[in-house]
Amino acid sequence: MIDPRFSTLRVFSSTGSVARTAELTGYSPSAVSAQLRELQRSLGIKLIAKEGRGVRLTSAGQQLVSGIDSIVTQWELLAASARSASGQLQAHFGLGGFSTAAAQLLAPLAASLRATRPEVEVQLIEAQPQRCLDLLLAERIDLAVIVASQAPGGGGAKDRFEQTVLLDDPLDVVLPASHRLAQRKSVALEDLADDPWISESGQSVYRALFVAAFTSLGVTPHIAHEAVEWETMIAFIGAGLGVGLLPRLATLGHADDVVRRRISGAAKPSRRIVAVTRKGSRGSPLIEESLEILQRTAERIISQRSAEELDG
């Protein structure tokens, strides 16, 4: 909002590519290229340098970016306090989150906002955590619900984002109904060390979590198959191809050939779900309200789990 070129530059510094920046900001690649060139010209500085078939930030560029990070933060603070003082809400409010978060946390939030603030145009975007962060930078969304990763998303994250812990989401094991341990109430990961596993492909957050759970046990699991969607993984498991881990927030669906079991034993892997905003934007009334709603929803989920725990 302060200057669209700042947004573009920040996204570029995060993605390192004109094409990805264009895709995230909604501009065409030529527009991104032109904006960066314009910035260079008006400052008289070389910001980007060719590298292979792509392009990278010069050190002067990185320095500029970190300065701009701080300026943008200050601007967000100012805009938020202004909005807060005037009670005026922004017209557009973008929310982002990965699949399960979008379903369980964002959908209720959007519904609530639609009801209480009908004049605000709420937009939901489902996207992977890293992409959510980039969308935040690009100002396409204003709030994201993602899985906290130990690696701070691509450098200088703490200069750009603020996060609030919503809840810890434990992982369960999913077994074929015919599995030898399927009748147990809970299963230790150690007992499944030799089973074939099904995990997610690529270097997703889930995959990192998956690996971490086993390395803490000193075990290297045998990943027999890879899937992208939970649905697919569950189908694989149902077919007896292996066992898998499923976050509690993700629903099993109507699959009756698999069972979900709590994890007992030394390693109790879980993922931490957090709400992320651009640094400085917290004071904004809509953000404040949304965070409260998200936390209430999270608490409801947690207490519901305790109740189930007692029932079961």
Residue 66 Cβ, how far from a copy of itself at the closest point, in Å? Answer: 9
Whether 233 and 126 have beta carbons less than 8 Å apart is answered as: no
Residue 198 Cβ, how far from a copy of itself at the closest point, in Å? Answer: 49
The binder of 233, among DNA, a copy of itself, none, by C-beta within 5 to 8 A per type, is: none
The binder of 42, among DNA, a copy of itself, none, by C-beta within 5 to 8 A per type, is: a copy of itself
- Please report, as ranges, the residues that interact with DNA according to CB under 7 A: 4, 17-20, 26-31, 33-38, 48, 50, 52-55
Q: Which is nearer to DNA, 53 or 254 (CB)?
A: 53
Q: Is 118 in the site for a copy of itself (CB under 8 A)?
A: no
Judged by CB under 8 A, which stretch of 76-84, 176-184, 239-247, 271-279 contacts a copy of itself? 76-84
Instruction: Give, in degrees to the nearest 5, the angle at Cα 126 between 125 and 130.
Output: 105
Q: Is 90 in the site for a copy of itself (CB under 8 A)?
A: yes
The binder of 30, among DNA, a copy of itself, none, by C-beta within 5 to 8 A per type, is: DNA
Q: Which is nearer to DNA, 34 or 148 (CB)?
A: 34
Whether 61 and 50 have beta carbons less than 8 Å apart is answered as: no
The binder of 71, among a copy of itself, DNA, none, by C-beta within 5 to 8 A per type, is: a copy of itself
Q: Which is nearer to a copy of itself, 75 or 108 (CB)?
A: 75
Which residue of 19, 82, 228, 307 would you call a contact of a copy of itself, by CB under 8 A?
82
Q: Is 266 in the site for a copy of itself (CB under 8 A)?
A: no
Judged by CB under 8 A, which stretch of 57-65, 227-235, 243-251, 272-280 contacts a copy of itself? 57-65
The binder of 79, among DNA, a copy of itself, none, by C-beta within 5 to 8 A per type, is: a copy of itself
